[in-house]
Structure 1
Amino acid sequence: MKVLVTGGSSLLGRTVANFLVARGDDVTCFQRSASGSTAVDVLGDIRDRAELIAAADGVDAVIHLAALVAPKAPWADMMAINVEGTRNALNAAVAGGRFVYISSPSVAFHDQASVGVGALAADYSGRDGYARSKALAENIVRSESTVPTVILRPHLVWGPGDTQLIGRIVDRARSGKLVLPDGGRALVDTTYLDDAA
């Protein structure tokens, strides 16, 4: 299978690309900087629809992981990358026929226990920019897709190579600023990197 992975320089994107290459797929990663994966890199910007469609030429599937994951980033950047970038990736998948969108549980669970099946994404204008942009993008995928589509919402992905989650938890614990939901009794689901890939 020939697959295009957007966001191949992210922890999950690189792992997905390496997994697909190891199983024998022909994989191209599309992102702004080298992915560090065993796939072929095509450097480009998710906001450039023509570049993305050219990179997807001849693929059987697009796995879209590229996103701006910064809750306090300017809303215009969130819209351009997370919403319109997703629309561009979805359009690039039309010729190939399959699309996998990596969303976020934050589109369905907000200030509540995330137990059970998450609701459909909504606008949620009161949420941070990241959650809101991912909800808007997920709704675009649901409403505009003309190809078979899968939407996944992995939560707190961690594993080898993680430079974000585990380090933040350890730093906050050392500084005495680690928040323990429900006094430390709440369960928090995480997704191990290999399971997410």
Structure 2
Amino acid sequence: MRVLVTGASGLLGREVARLLVRQGHAVTTFQRRAAGVDGAADFLGSVTDGDAVRRAVAGFEGVIHLAAKVSFTGRAADFHEVNVEGTRRLIEAAREAGVRDLVFVSSPSVANSGAAIAGLGAEPADPARAHGDYSRTKAAAEMLALAADSREFRVAAVRPHIVWGPGDTQLVERVLERAARGRLPLLDAGAALIDTTYVDNAASAIVAALHRMEQVHGRALVVSNGEPRPVGELLAGICAAGGVPAPSWRVPGRIARAAGSVVEKIWLRSGREDEPPMTRFLAEQLSTAHWFDQRETRALLDWTPAVSLDEGLAKLAAHYGAPTTARTVRP
């Protein structure tokens, strides 16, 4: 199959492209800088450029759309332009080009109002209830994508939950850096039960959706390892793999959520582009349960995770050289 992968310069997109190449597909990646995936061609451009999008999708049978603005802070207009309008441009161009199948890579946060989630499936995306500009715009984009589904243009949404692995700058490196500086608190003692997804598993589920489009088009599916752990235990495992002390100081979740709201506003008003130390969304993620029933996902995709949580942590430790002493970070 000829497959276009958008956003392949990121951890998950790159692994999706690599897996497709290994399976023998003709793969092209589309993003602003070269993805560098062996065996795949690069088409450089942005989903904010309609002409580039139309050229990128021409001649493909399948598209996997991962390109997105992912951040805890930033201008709302920027999130909308990339996540919503970029998805709209891609859908319109793909249909015009005769693309048969599109997998939209979404997020469980599109249906999360901040309350605890324990064993639910893929609830409907709802921009009005989602917290933060990223989640709101991804929710709107997922709704656009699924509304375009038809027999002639099949669309499915896959929501991998908290993807991590070696080379991850979104979660792992932030955890290690902040823990090394003593700036990573345990909210509510780190007791919230959460699930995550090792990157290889997330990639294989996304590719499985492309292959199982007849069974999954028109649907949204949440993907995770299916191994909920207390957030404090998970953070300790990541820190051990990276050779830094695990977080030990504690903050009540309600205080962190209130502080996060204030910090977000300060960061936005000051125009800072670095990530703030805390946001309301991040505080919610660290202090509320969020794990999902995986039975429907696994049945529809005919898929199970190949890498367990503990195996993933072992791979992470190998990536960092299995250090026996804590890493040091300049204050």
TM-score, length-scaled by structure 1:
0.93
Q: Any runs of at least 4 consecutive aligned residues in structure 1 with deviations exceeding 6 A, and if so which?
A: none
2:105 corresponds to which residue? Answer: 102
TM-aligned CA distance change 1:189 to 1:126, over 3 Å:
closer
Superposition pairs of residues 49-128 of structure 1, within 5 angstroms: 49-94=50-95, 95-115=98-118, 116-124=120-128, 127-128=131-132
Higher helix share: 2
**Residue 150 of structure 1: aligned partner:** 156
Which whole-Å deviations, capped at 9, do the CAs of 1:77-135 have from their partners, x for residues lacking one?
A: 11110001111222233211101001111111232223311321112267211111101
Residue among 115, 123, 139 paired with 2:143: 139
Q: Report how many residues are paired.
A: 197
Report the more deviating stretch, 136-145 or 22-31.
136-145
Is residue 2:180 matched to residue 1:180? no
Other structure's SS at 1:46 match: coil
Cα distance between partner residues in 2 of 1:186 and 1:54? 46
Cα contact 1:42–1:55 (8 A) shared by 2: yes
For the structure 1 residues 136 and 173, does the alpha-carbon distance in structure 2 shift closer, same or farther, using more than 3 Å as the test?
same
Distance in 1, matches of 2:174 and 2:126, equals: 29
Which structure would you say has the larger Rg?
2
2:4 paired residue number: 4
5+ residue gaps, structure 2: 204-331
CA contact (8 A) 1:62 1:92 kept: no
Contact 2:125 2:140 in 1 (8 A): yes
Counterpart CA distance in 1 for 2:106 and 2:65 is 9
Aligned partners of 2:146 and 2:156 also within 8 Å: no
RMSD: 1.6
| Counterpart position of 2:49 | 48
Distance 1:86 1:123 in 2: 15
Question: 1:104, 1:153 within 8 Å by CA — same for their partners in 2?
Answer: yes
Partner residue, 2:17: 17
Q: How far apart in 2 are the matches of 1:60 and 1:19?
A: 17
CA distance in 1, matches of 2:122, 2:183: 29
What fraction of aligned residue pairs are identical, expressed as a percent?
A: 46
Q: Which residues of structure 1 form unaligned runs of 5+?
A: none
